[in-house]
Amino acid sequence: MTETADLDGKCFVLTGPMKIADPMHTPVRGDLAHIGLAGRYFVPHYAVPITRRITTDGAELRASSRADSDVLTQLDGGSLFEVLDIAGSTAWGQAGGENGFVGYVALDRLEAET
């Protein structure tokens, strides 16, 4: 069954799970997305990122919040990470700006807010 919604004169059709063209570089999950993706992806919540620097020792960007999950890339010390969600001892977000990898970083690898 297809349902439609009319919001501000725009008609949207809900036809099934959303398809993310490039999940490795698109900060969207089933429950949350970057505020810049509002209108392109339908999720219950959108977040404005908080930019933090990676500590001087660098950090591993992981595929999930588990410490034993796959490492997607190594982040250099001093590089930027846009935090979209914090849960437990990890932050979820995007490294290196709009086209950077999306994943999880240990909170102790992010410099404190100044």
Nearest to 82 by CA among 42, 20, 18, 25: 25
Alpha-carbon span 81 to 109, nearest angstrom: 10
The domain defined by 22-109 folds into SH3 type barrels. (2.30.30)
Residue partners of 63: CB distance under 8 A and separation at least 6: 69, 70, 71, 72, 103, 104
91 or 15, which is more confident? 91
Do the beta carbons of residue 34 and residue 84 sit within 8 Å? yes
Residue 94 clears pLDDT 50, i.e. is over it:
yes
Asked if residue 21 has pLDDT above 60, the reply is yes
User: For 25-74, what is each residue's pLDDT tens digit?
Assistant: 999 999 999 999 998 898 999 999 999 999 999 999 999 999 999 999 99
